Amino acid sequence: METMPKWADLILTPLISLLLAFAISGLVILAIGENPWEALKVMVTGALGSSYGWGFTLYYTTNFIFTGLAVAVAYHAGLFNIGGEGQASLGGLGVALVCLSLPWPGWWLALPAAMIGAALFGALWALIPAVLQARRGSHIVITTIMFNFIAAALLNYLLVNVLRPVGSMDPSTPRFPAETHLPSISDIMAGFGVSWGQHTPANVTLIVALIACLLVWMLIWHTRLGYEIRAFGKSEPAALYAGISPTRIIITAMMISGALAGLMAINNVMGEAERLLMNSVEGAGFIGIAVALMGRNHPAGVLLAALLFGFLYQGGGELALWTSIPRELITVIQALVILFTGALDNMVRMPLERLFLARRRRGAR
C-alpha cells in the first residue's frame, strides 16, 4: 500500500530532515555565541552567491556524484561498499600512471585513457573484497573498511619511495605534463565569451559525472544486468531460483562500484591537483555514503544530494574563512545533515505517513 504520494516520499521527507538538521546546527552556533543567520548568509553567498563560489561547489559536487553513485550501485546489489575512499585513491594512482607514462598529445586523448586507468584501478581494488565476499563469505563492510587502510598505506609507500621525483621533499608524484591538463568550466565558458568562475577547480569532469548518472540509471533500470543486480539485492533465494549467480553479481556490482569511485580521481587528481598527492580523496569516499543514503540510491537523488554536500563543503570553508566559527563546526553541521537525512530518516517519515493516512481517511469519509 502506498502510504504517501511520491513527491512527499522523495522531496518532502529529506527536505524536512534537512531543515531540522539546519535548525539544530543553528542552535549549536547560537550556543557558541555566534549568529546563525549570519553564518547561513556567509555559507549561501560563499557557495552559491557568485560564479566563483559555484566553481568550488560544483567541483566538490563532482567528487560526491562519483562516490555517491559508487555506493548506490553496490547498494542495489545489497552490498554496502564503504571502501569508496580506498577505491578513489587507487583510482588516483591509475590516473597518475596513465598521465605520467606516455607523452599525450592533448587532454582529449588523455582523458579517456585516464578514465580507463582510474576505473580499472578502482574496480580492481573493489574486486578483492568482492571475491572474498562471494567465495569466502567475508563481510564486505569489514573488508572494504580494511581496504581503505591498506590503500592509504600503499599510496603512502608508493608516493614516498617510488613515485616521488628525486630531490623532492613532497610525497607526491611530479606534476602531470601540461597536455594532460583538463579544461576547467571557466575555460569552457570563456570559449563562449562568458566570464564565469575564474580560478575555480570545477572542470570538464562535471560533464563526465552527469553522463555517469545517466549511464547508472540506464544500467540499473534498463539493462538485464541491472535487473539481476536489483533482484539479487532484494532477495538472494529468489536470485538463486531464477538462476542468477550470486558470485557473478557480487563481483560485477562491486567492480562497477569501485570503477565509479575510482573515476572520482579524474576530477581531483587530473582536473584539480594535476599530480597525485597524499590523501587526495579527503573523505569524499565517506561522504558518498551519505549522498547515496540521502539520494535514496537513485542517480537523480545522488545528483541533488551531491549538490547539497558540495554546498556544505564550500559554504563550510567560507564559514571558517570569514567568521570566528571554528572549522570543526562545519564537520558538526555535515554530521547533523547526515544524521537527520540518513540515520533518522524514519523519525520524519513515520509521522508524515501517519499525517497523510489521516488526511486520506478523512477524505474518504
Binding to other proteins by residue 364, rule CB under 8 A?
yes
From the list 243, 324, 362, 365, which residue makes contact with other proteins (rule: CB under 8 A)?
243
Binding to other proteins by residue 135, rule CB under 8 A?
no
Whose Cβ is closer to other proteins: residue 106's or residue 351's?
Answer: 351
Whose Cβ is closer to other proteins: residue 5's or residue 326's?
Answer: 5
The span from the CA of 99 to the CA of 93, in Å, is 10
Q: CA separation (Å) from 299 to 100, 188, 259, 263, 290? A: 33, 25, 16, 16, 14
Whose Cβ is closer to other proteins: residue 118's or residue 213's?
Answer: 213
The span from the CA of 203 to the CA of 192, in Å, is 15
Which neighbouring-strand residues pair with 184? 203
CB of 1 to other proteins, least distance (A): 6
Nine-digit cell at 326?
Answer: 571554528
CB of 255 to other proteins, least distance (A): 18
Binding to other proteins by residue 136, rule CB under 8 A?
no
Binding to other proteins by residue 349, rule CB under 8 A?
no
Binding to other proteins by residue 1, rule CB under 8 A?
yes
The span from the CA of 292 to the CA of 99, in Å, is 30
CB of 356 to other proteins, least distance (A): 9
CB of 112 to other proteins, least distance (A): 20
Q: Which of 101, 141, 86, 95 is nearest to 117 (CA)?
A: 95
CB of 4 to other proteins, least distance (A): 11
Binding to other proteins by residue 213, rule CB under 8 A?
no
CB of 353 to other proteins, least distance (A): 9
Q: CA separation (Å) from 285 to 67, 183, 271? A: 5, 24, 17
From the list 135, 139, 234, 327, which residue makes contact with other proteins (rule: CB under 8 A)?
234
Length of the chain: 365
Binding to other proteins by residue 245, rule CB under 8 A?
yes
Whose Cβ is closer to other proteins: residue 246's or residue 342's?
Answer: 246
Binding to other proteins by residue 244, rule CB under 8 A?
yes
Q: CA separation (Å) from 1 to 351, 353, 357? A: 17, 12, 11
CB of 27 to other proteins, least distance (A): 35
What does the DSSP assignment read for 16-80? HHHHHHHHHHHHHHHHTT--HHHHHHHHHHHHHSSHHHHHHHHHHHHHHHHHHHHHHHHHHTT--
Looking at residues 214 to 233 of the shown chain, list those that interact with other proteins (rule: CB under 8 A): 218, 221-224, 227-228, 230-231
Whose Cβ is closer to other proteins: residue 327's or residue 360's?
Answer: 360
Binding to other proteins by residue 237, rule CB under 8 A?
yes
From the list 109, 207, 241, 300, which residue makes contact with other proteins (rule: CB under 8 A)?
241
Where does the chain have alpha helices with state H?
6-7, 13-31, 36-48, 51-76, 84-101, 107-131, 140-157, 185-191, 205-222, 224-234, 236-242, 246-265, 284-294, 299-322, 327-338, 345-364
Please report, as ranges, the residues that interact with other proteins according to CB under 8 A.
1, 3, 218, 221-224, 227-228, 230-231, 234-235, 237-238, 240-245, 357, 360-361, 364
